[in-house]
A and B are shown apart, each in its own frame.
Chain A
Amino acid sequence: MRHLSTDASPGLTPGHPCAIARDTMNTPMQQPAGRDPKSSFQDMILALHDFWSAQGCVILQPYDMRMGAGTFHTATTLRALGPEPWNAAFVQPCRRPTDGRYGENPNRLQHYYQYQVILKPSPPDIQELYLESLRVIGIDPLKHDIRFVEDDWESPTLGAWGLGWEVWCDGMEVTQFTYFQQMGGFDCKPVAGELTYGLERLAMYIQGVDNVYDLSFNGQGTSYGDVFLENEKQMSKWNFEVAETDALFDLFNKAEAECRNALDGSVPIAAYEQAVEASHIFNLLQARGVISVQERASYMGRVRDLARGSCEAYAEKMAPEWKAKFPEWSL
């Protein structure tokens, strides 16, 4: 397994943005012995890893911070900036405190997984690659109705937007497919394609299960519920009832201050982490119901300033280096 490297795009030749291996396109990918993405959550993830790895992606591990979406991972946000090719895939656990249901709702969770693929620049056959990845995990598009339905994406927090689709499988949204146009307020040059698979949904669909907790996690007797049910119960309770709100307000302020401190110290990646932290603390405060409607906009504005400020600082710090490698590029 490769590791995150600060060098540009391992596995790809810099300057050849479309250097994605095509060897899997003609022959369906063989699953290793004993692997069955159709009856095991983890095998499905491993199959996606194999597939995207074969396409030349860096397979990353999750970002080690609490965040609301895979898009917050620096491999997506910060790497979407600048001219360097970048192809990566990773699982990112997502925390949405207000979606917690104490483990009682069959498809709502305050902690779940997204599978993210980021391909920069977006390759011309990105849709075909994506559809091939569905086949690999067991979805046959001649038996299931796959559709690309308009769904544009915007994150004012990140100063980002893109156009794309939500991908439907028999009417169910299984993936968010976005061509990033702007990030941190900057035009994406070049544009990256982002795929975000909802892993639990896909697995429920593929395994034919109506309750997320009934998913087979490993195909060997351990269910998703065995792994996460108690976690959902306790974390829902903490998110909604227990978390000390004074401490959360304090954490928010501290993250905000530290973000500014990091910006002053010209370490925008560290600043960005604090923005991610502040964003999550804000979500927790929302779940605790202690932010009034009036205050909400103001808090969101503060998070936005931190996130955008960090992205801008990162882009500006990196710009000379990028410019040196890609003379035709400008911020």
Chain B
Amino acid sequence: MESEIPGVEPVSDFLLELRSEEIPARMQAGARKELEKLFRRKMDTAGVAVGEVTVWSTPRRLALIARDLPDATEAVSEEAKGPPEGAPDQAVEGFCRKNGVTRDELEVRDVKGRPTYFAVKNIPGRQASALLAEAIPAIVRDFSWPKSMRWGAASLSTESLRWVRPLSGIVALLGDDVIECEVHGVTSGAVTLGHRFHHAGDITIGNADDYAMKLRAGHVIVDHVERQDLIRKGAARVAEEAGLTLVEDEGLVIENAGLTEWPVPLLGRFEEDFLEVPPETIQLTARVNQKYFVCEDAKGELANAFICTANIEAADGGTRVVEGNRKVLAARLADARFFWDVDRKKTLAEHAKGLERITFHEKLGTVADKVERVTRLALWLVDTGVVKPSDEGSGAETQLYNYVQDAAALSKADLVTEMVGEFPELQGLMGGYYARAEGLPNEVADAIRDHYKPVGQGDEVPTAPVTVAVALADKLDTLMAFFGMREEPTGSKDPFALRRAALSVLRILQANNIRLNVRHAYRIAGLLLTRQISNRALGNKIEDDFESARKLGLLDPATIDEEGYKKTLLDEINASGVAKNLEIGEERLPNFFADRLKVQQREAGVRHDLIDAVFALGGEDDLVRLLARVKALQSFMDTEDGANLLAGYKRAANILKKEEWDGGKDLSYSTEAAEKGLIDALDSAGPKAESAVAEEDFAAAMSALASLRAPIDRFFEEVTVNDDDKAKRAFRLDLLARFRDAVHQVADFSKIEG
């Protein structure tokens, strides 16, 4: 249309606007992507080349502009090669069906001397307008929303159109011409609507170029990026004008841009008295409930101001709007202050009694029960030196023990406070505030506040010993309890967030270089749970039980090994049926940790097969040590010695496997040189590797292994294992088994890939 110059393809700009009742803010970004994707897909299928595409959204419309769309597609000829002449009828007919041609239309051509059928389809060029008229209804029908609905008279049938909210209008213009189409009763045109309140009547769009401008005249800024920018800058400006600094919040910027077509940031003040409640609660209620920004004063402290984003330019400059919003916020803050005051009338210890009313899980008792287990487990971590005080002064351990006891016992108390009831995301944080308010030591308050950490990937990992003990115990108890109840995650289902709990345990162990045998911890946690169950039946208190068990040394890590554990735990509760599940859980949890470790270490470039290789040896339940060993192994595998040793190992293992060799008798046999070399090397490397592993000097263990490389290579070069002499053969197989076992002291090389 614009360009009729010979040799230049005529092109036009295309505008599509889909108008709707208010689209949820959170869905608009996805909808823009979906619109562009579907448009490109339809055009691609139709053979229309699409260049630059711009997509905009407001709460009431989605818009797409495609620049320089060709006015027509070129005629194309498509051909498909089919079966050779003389092929069975079935095959030929199938080919015809697939290509939409009749048998008469097939051409026969020569392919490498063979007459072969060809289907040739001449597709004529089509007008873009016709293609778009087909594509637009298809885009609307195929559009995928996170949630969609039916509406109106047409919804008498469930076959009626589904859209995020009722679809109310379509503008479709190619150049200056309307693309006429209809979707479920909505017909396209050139007419749209402006701002809901600022603009009465229709707006007729001329073409893609005047669209944004005409909407702007109708008080609609259609470009979401521009609205975001207006909000970002406008909010910062009104804050500055009030002598304050905006607390930036990009999520709020985007959300408010998704709620407005004509955003006007307005600053209001709330009563200064409200600042006595913790600033997080003010910020949270302002942001979550009202979508307001907050501000800081020159000292960086939360100011008594909020910024709302109106969707109108109010006649009075927004005085009434601000006043209305202030009242709403004041009511919410009054609630928060009420909660803050009421909650502090009780101590956390008093609140904690309320935990008896909250079920943790139907099989696992109340939250109070959980707190009891967490407390005992946290104390066990301190008692056994897994978690150590940060300084060594006299009494440091006793102090740590006491702090951990208090912090763990109060860790969940805030769950029954009014404030956390209203804002669950403040769990922990409020406990910390309340602990400080009642004068508990900072170590205890910090531990209550931080014991859920680390929550997400970027979250900080606790390092204060009191916090570490409580945080670890909380997560270990959860893991043990659900594994012990056979409620482990399956596939994508992880309703109790056990993967996250395990990952958090790993991160705490690693960040603090804590040596913990997870199997022992599992057993202690399991012991606590089962004792809790049996004690409840007997009416005993677990504190007494725990103390007596402690005095008897039953909780000592040395005796919690097989014997003591079985005696104290399994025999006692065998009848309850819990024991079996606990045993299964004990086998599964370490594997679960190993899997988490693999996922976690993948990003750090640690090979998962090497984790398997170390883990497969069994008995490695200390995850920090496991990782150190894996890392040493990985360095070794990167060396030539490592690669060659692996080759030798695989050869040996294959032979042993093939022969199903499971060790032989002692045979008198005079060895050949290559055999002697390997024997000597094993005599030397075996004990070296063993002691190096015991001393956790994994680099030394690897170099002990490296010393086997040359002898094993030589052995394979010079010696035939499968000798006719049965005695020789048996001896050599034994020797290979010894070699394999020596390697296994360090890692199960059969798990290593490559």
Binding site for B on A (CB under 8 A): 17-18, 83, 106-107, 121-124, 127, 131, 141-150, 152, 162-165, 169-172, 179, 181, 187-191, 193, 205, 210, 292-294, 326, 328-329
Q: Which residues of A contact B24 (CB under 8 A)?
A: 150
Verify if B152 is at the interface (C-beta below 8 Å from A).
yes
Q: Is there an interface contact between B259 and A169, defined as CB atoms closer than 8 Å? A: no
Chain B contacts of A141 at CB under 8 A? Answer: 196-197, 312
Q: Which residues of B contact A (CB under 8 A)?
A: 21-22, 24-26, 59, 147-158, 164-166, 168, 196-198, 259-260, 290, 292, 308, 310-312, 314-316, 320-321, 323-325, 327-329, 331, 357-359, 362
Asked whether, in the complex, the Cβ of B331 is within 8 Å of the Cβ of A107, the reply is yes
Closest approach, in angstroms, between the C-beta of B340 and any C-beta of chain A?
16
Q: Which residues of A contact B308 (CB under 8 A)?
A: 145, 171
**Min CB distance, A128 to chain B, in Å?**
9
* A127: nearest chain-B partner, CB-CB: B21
- B168 engages A147 (CB within 8 Å): no
* A163 touching B165, Cβ below 8 Å: yes
Known: A170-B325, A170-B327, A293-B357. 17 other contacts (CB 8 A): A83-B156, A107-B331, A121-B156, A122-B155, A122-B166, A127-B21, A142-B314, A145-B324, A164-B165, A170-B321, A179-B150, A179-B166, A190-B150, A190-B155, A191-B149, A210-B327, A326-B156
Neighbour of A147 across the interface among B311, B320, B362, CB < 8 A:
B311
CB of B152 within 8 A of CB of A142, answer no
Q: Given A171-B308, A181-B150, A292-B357 in contact, is the A150-B324 Cβ separation under 8 Å?
A: no
- Given A18-B153, A293-B357, is A146 in contact with B327 using a C-beta cutoff of 8 Å? no
Indicate if the CB atoms of A148 and B21 lie closer than 8 Å: yes
Q: What number of residue pairs across chains A and B have CB atoms under 8 A from each other?
A: 128
A107 to B327, CA, bound (A): 12
Closest A residue to B324 by CB, please name it.
Answer: A170
Residues of A within 8 A of B164 (CB): 163
Q: Which residues of B contact A165 (CB under 8 A)?
A: 22
- Residue pair A172, B150 in contact (C-beta under 8 Å): no
Nearest chain B CB to A289's CB is how many angstroms away? Answer: 9
Of A18, A141, A326, chain B has the most CB atoms within 10 Å of the CB of A141
Residue from the list B22, B157, B320 in contact with A170, Cβ < 8 A: B320
Look across to chain B and name the residue whose beta carbon is closest to the beta carbon of A108. Answer: B335
| Cα of A8 to Cα of B168 in the assembled complex, Å | 28
Q: Which of A142, A143, A152, A293 meets B358, CB within 8 Å? A: A293
Describe A's contact surface by its main secondary structure. Answer: loop
CB closest chain-B residue, reference A141: B197
Question: In the bound complex, how far is the Cα of B283 from the Cα of A189, in angstroms?
Answer: 43
B166-A143 in contact (CB<8A): no
Give the CA-CA distance A181 to B292 in the complex, in Å: 32
Contact A146 to B197, CB < 8 A, known contacts A163-B149, A190-B155, A293-B357: yes
Known: A150-B26, A152-B147, A170-B328. A17 touches B197 (CB 8 A): no
**CB pair B320 A143 closer than 8 Å:** yes
A189 touching B158 in the complex, CB below 8 Å, given contacts A145-B310, A171-B290? yes
Q: Say yes or no: B324 contacts A169, CB within 8 Å.
A: yes
Contact across chains for B328 and A189 when beta carbons are under 8 A apart: no
Task: State in angstroms the CA–CA spacing of A99 and B335 once bound together.
Answer: 13
* Closest CB in chain B relative to A326 CB, distance in Å: 7
Q: Does A143 lie within 8 Å of B315, measured CB to CB?
A: yes
Chain B residues contacting A122 (CB-CB under 8 Å) are 151-152, 155, 166
Q: Which residues of A contact B154 (CB under 8 A)?
A: 190
| Pairs A–B under 8 Å by Cβ, sample size 16 | A106-B331, A122-B152, A124-B168, A142-B314, A143-B314, A146-B197, A148-B21, A163-B149, A170-B323, A170-B328, A171-B292, A191-B155, A292-B357, A292-B359, A293-B357, A293-B358
Closest 8 CB pairs of A and B: A170-B324, A150-B24, A148-B22, A171-B325, A190-B155, A191-B155, A145-B310, A171-B328
Q: How far is the CB of A101 from chain B (nearest CB, A)?
A: 10
Least Cβ distance of A323 to chain B in Å?
Answer: 12
CB–CB A172/B165 < 8 A? no
Known A-B contacts A170-B321, A190-B152, A328-B156; A142 and B197 likewise in contact (beta carbons under 8 Å): yes
- What are the residues of chain A within 8 A of B152 when measuring CB–CB? 121-124, 190-191
B259 nearest CB neighbor, chain A only: A147
In the complex, how many angstroms separate the beta carbon of B412 from the nearest chain A beta carbon?
14
Of A17, A150, A172, most B-chain CB atoms within 10 Å: A150
> Given A191-B149, A205-B324, A294-B359: A142 and B315 within 8 A (CB)?
yes
| Complex CA–CA separation, A107 to B315 (angstroms) | 29
Measured CB to CB, the closest approach of chain B to A247, in angstroms, equals 23
- Measured in the bound complex, the distance between the Cα atoms of B152 and A260 in whole Å is 35
Q: Which residues of B contact A146 (CB under 8 A)?
A: 196-197, 311
Distance between A184 CB and nearest chain B CB, rounded to angstroms: 15
Shortest Cβ distance from A204 into B: residue: B327
A189 touches B155 (CB 8 A): yes
Question: Closest CB of chain B to A127's CB: distance in Å?
Answer: 6
Task: Kindly list chain B residues whose C-beta atoms are within 8 Å of the C-beta of A143.
Answer: 314-316, 320-321
